[in-house]
Amino acid sequence: MIYDYLIIGAGLGGLSAGLNLTSKNKKVIILEKNSLPGGMVSTFKRGRFEFDTSLYDIYDYGDKENEGDFQKLLKKFDIAVDTTLIPFNVLIKDDTNFQWEIKGNFEDWVLNIEEVKKGSTSGIKEFIKITKEVNEAVKALERNEEVSEEEYPNFYKYLDKTAMDALKSLKIPLVSINMLSFLWVNMGVNLSKLNFIDYALFMYKMIFKKDVILNNKNLDFTLKLVKKYQSEGGKIYYNSEVIKVEEKDHLFIVKTKDNLEYKAKNIIGDIFKKYFFRDLDYTENKDIIKLENARSEGANGIVVFLGLNKSREELGLNYYKYYHYNNLNSDICVKYMSNLDHNTYEVIVPNVVNEEASPKNTCVVILKKLYFGDVFRNLNKMNYEEIKENIAQDLINKFENDFGIDILEYIEEIEIATPLTILRYSGSLNGSLFGYSKKGYDGVINRLINYQDEEIPKISFVGASSVLGSGADNAFRSGVLVTDRLLKKGDDKDE
């Protein structure tokens, strides 16, 4: 059997690519190294708890009246998903005793900023207008349409600016910039490095398309995607790790760890390009490898999943999210974040939005701490388990002290994921939670434009490390965007 497309990896990017291609009657196979689909989007059981690994904020989904692109695509594939809108319900602190609560909607958030620093609102309102324009310009680029300077003057004005420079030029005071941008950790890049266009796109989605959570488990969602894909004739083989890709007589021969071979006319990798070239031994073209090596992986992190034997009400966990920063200024903050014991972390309490996130009278708490650089790779392997447990213990202590909530004595289940766990499970290089970092030139615009000149014909990449960057919505949308372009080019035709 010769497939039109062979997809490496059943993460959201691989699955959406598969869904799109099978809906156009292509012969498609997905090879997935794990025994389950979804990659980073998965669910695991410990005792009576079922933990979701991801999707605590689904961006670009929207609601019934105001659908985001992610929802529109799922509808296009006839996939019904049950979600709950997440209202702002956040408590923020930093090392300087700054404390700030955000509840309600974005307008309340802006009012709140104005209370702290008078004169912030006009610059923020201007910024919000610009996010709309940027979103429209990028959507036009995605459709391969012309984006003129007359029609999108602000897009051009801010194209090569960092988020920090652009916000300053809008005369927003620094303290207000920091308050407006506290979600930078969800993008994994500090404001002086983050491309403004990427920042504006993220904020546009936050403000206009809101943020939702699934009412079902991550795994139910990804299995639904697989079911639909299979119903359209798509094949998926689990426990099938691709170890080598070769090209012979205009066909790709793909070899798996269990010594099987598959033939296909096109390859789509839901993996980092760097990994494809290096570990799957594909290309001897040094220039391509050099170019790819110049890109840097995004921040990685440690994630501690806790199942607690008391309800969140009994424990006084009243916020969906708790954020603690070394400093609310992201540029100062990252300076600390290559040290194991830094003090910037995020805590999620899913039960606040979804009461059924865990059994009755219990709750789930997820603590997440990001790192920049190779902190974990350089650890002494002999002490790895001990170090990982110490970091988790320290993180729990920090949360208890910073927010005055006792959780330690109520822990019934605990699981700790480090960057090495994430690397092992999803193949994400360096355990990156954000694909390639959207620093400087490597933002969505550069990726969208350069994507048109793929270096190697018939090999494409989807997912968090590809054209739109990380996040469930981007990873999923990338699979459709990339395959739509391939189909338009007619890349599956015989030579």
Ligand X SMILES: Cc1cc2nc3c(=O)[nH]c(=O)nc-3n(C[C@H](O)[C@H](O)[C@H](O)COP(=O)(O)OP(=O)(O)OC[C@H]3O[C@@H](n4cnc5c(N)ncnc54)[C@H](O)[C@@H]3O)c2cc1C
Alpha helices in 302-459 (DSSP H): 312-315, 330-336, 384-403, 419-426, 444-450
Strands (E), 222-299: 235-237, 242-248, 251-256, 261-269
Among 3, 4, 13, 330, binds ligand X (CB under 6 A): 13
Q: In the complex, what is the shortest distance from the CB of residue 78 to ligand X, in angstroms, rounded to a whole number?
A: 21
Binders of ligand X among residues 267 to 326 (CB under 6 A) are 270-271, 303
- Pick 34 or 460: Cβ nearer ligand X: 34
Q: Which is nearest to 288 in space by CA: 437, 467, 459, 470? A: 459
- Pick 166 or 337: Cβ nearer ligand X: 337
- How crowded is residue 363: how many other Cβ atoms within 10 Å of its Cβ? 26
Binders of ligand X among residues 366 to 425 (CB under 6 A) are 422
Which tokens belong to 177?
Answer: 């910039």
Binders of ligand X among residues 78 to 107 (CB under 6 A) are none
Total residues at interface with ligand X (CB under 6 A): 38
Binding to ligand X by residue 329, rule CB under 6 A? no
Among 43, 54, 327, 432, binds ligand X (CB under 6 A): 54
Whether the Cβ atoms of residue 173 and residue 117 lie closer than 8 Å to each other: yes
For residue 381, give the DSSP letter. G
Among 4, 5, 6, 8, binds ligand X (CB under 6 A): 8
Q: In the complex, what is the shortest distance from the CB of residue 79 to ligand X, in angstroms, rounded to a whole number?
A: 16
Q: Cβ contacts of residue 33 below 8 Å, gap of 6+?
A: 9, 239, 240, 241, 242, 257, 427
Binding to ligand X by residue 442, rule CB under 6 A? no
- Pick 142 or 160: Cβ nearer ligand X: 142
Residues listed for the chain = 495
DSSP calls for 269-286: ESS-HHHHHHHS-----H
Among 83, 429, 463, 468, binds ligand X (CB under 6 A): 463
Q: In the complex, what is the shortest distance from the CB of residue 241 to ligand X, in angstroms, rounded to a whole number?
A: 4
Whether the Cβ atoms of residue 209 and residue 83 lie closer than 8 Å to each other: no
Binding to ligand X by residue 56, rule CB under 6 A? yes
- Pick 8 or 482: Cβ nearer ligand X: 8
Binding to ligand X by residue 461, rule CB under 6 A? no
- Pick 131 or 428: Cβ nearer ligand X: 428
- Pick 123 or 419: Cβ nearer ligand X: 419
Q: CA 335, CA 355: separation in Å to the nearest integer?
A: 37
Q: Cβ contacts of residue 254 below 8 Å, gap of 6+?
A: 6, 8, 31, 242, 244, 245, 261, 262, 263, 264, 267
Whether the Cβ atoms of residue 362 and residue 308 lie closer than 8 Å to each other: yes
Among 41, 92, 134, 245, binds ligand X (CB under 6 A): 41
Among 329, 428, 432, 483, binds ligand X (CB under 6 A): 428
- Pick 123 or 479: Cβ nearer ligand X: 479
Which tokens belong to 364?
Answer: 């789930």
Binding to ligand X by residue 172, rule CB under 6 A? no
Q: CA 357, CA 49: separation in Å to the nearest integer?
A: 9
DSSP-assigned beta bridge partners for residue 5: 28, 266
Query: Which residues bind to ligand X, rule: CB under 6 A?
Result: 8-14, 31-34, 39-41, 53-59, 241-242, 270-271, 303, 422, 426-428, 433, 463-464, 470-473, 475
